[in-house]
Amino acid sequence: MSVCDVCGNDYDQAFTLRAADGREFTFDSFECAIHRCAPQCAHCACRVIGHGIQARGFVYCCAHCARVSGVPEATDNAEQPA
């Protein structure tokens, strides 16, 4: 049995997540893992649970949020406009 670091649930299927900086966390659900560990978009503050976009030392959820935050070259689509 392991206790979730976020909600305190003692759950037999809890799992351990080791972050890039080496810290380890115990969670009973991905929801709690996202709450604690997922980066937040520097523009709209939503949790970034996909790849997101990193630019100028910040993480953004999408190219729009990066562009309006001063990263004009950010794009969601690698295709060149016609």
Positions in the binding site for Zn ion (CB under 5 A): 4, 6-7, 9, 28, 32, 41, 43-44, 61, 65
43, 46, 47, 48 alpha-carbon torsion, rounded to 10°? -50
Closer residue to Zn ion (CB): 20 or 45? 45
What stretch of H or E contains 24? strand 24-27
Using an 8 Å Cβ cutoff, are 39 and 49 in contact? no
Nearest CB to Zn ion, comparing residues 32 and 71: 32
Between residues 13 and 80, which has the closer beta carbon with respect to Zn ion?
Answer: 13
Closest approach, Cβ 29 to Zn ion, in A, equals: 5
